Amino acid sequence: MSLYVDTSALLKRYVDEADSEIAVSLLDSDPSLVTARHSIVEVRRNLARSLAPHEASLARATFARDLDAFAIVELDRATCEAAAGIAESIGVRTLDALHLAAARRVGAPAVPFLTFDLRQAEGARRLGFVVLGV
């Protein structure tokens, strides 16, 4: 089974937040993790904002190693067109639309969608995805 992981879930592996234990457990339970290319930008930005410089550097290095286990959905023309359609049809934010389109490319709704972002979860459910996390 594959699990699509959005940024809110990925961050919980590196930043101690509410629900971090749940997120880490879900991430560790599935050997086939998938995310979109823009997750790299989102995670690194949030690590820099949330952690002291030395902690952020360590977390960034761990994140880079962890990415080797992920399948990455590229933000190619088809994914961006699908994201635009999703954003137009259900009104989600841009980055959320990119995640939803990427998840759809890898087989959602059959592929569960892991998020701890309430708005993202609502959009995923509106598209018929199985949502884990929130």
Domain definitions of the chain by residue range: 2-133
Q: CA–CA separation, 39 vs 7, rounded Å?
A: 6
Q: What is the pLDDT of residue 123?
A: 97
Q: Given this model, what pLDDT does residue 1 score? A: 61
Token pair listed for 109: 């709704």
Point out the residues of the chain with pLDDT beneath 70.
Answer: 1
pLDDT of residue 131: 97
User: For position 98, what pLDDT does the model report?
Assistant: 98
Question: Comparing C-alpha atoms, which of 102, 97, 100 is closest to residue 84?
Answer: 97
The confidence score (pLDDT) of residue 32 equals 92
What is the 3-state secondary structure of 26-86? HHHHCCEEEEECHHHHHHHHHHHHHCCHHHHHHHHHHHHHHHHHEEEECCCHHHHHHHHHH
Contact in structure between 103 and 72 (CB atoms under 8 Å): no
Choices 3.40.50.1010, 1.20.1440.230, 3.30.465.10, 1.10.10.10: CATH for 2-133: 3.40.50.1010
Q: pTM of the full predicted structure?
A: 0.95
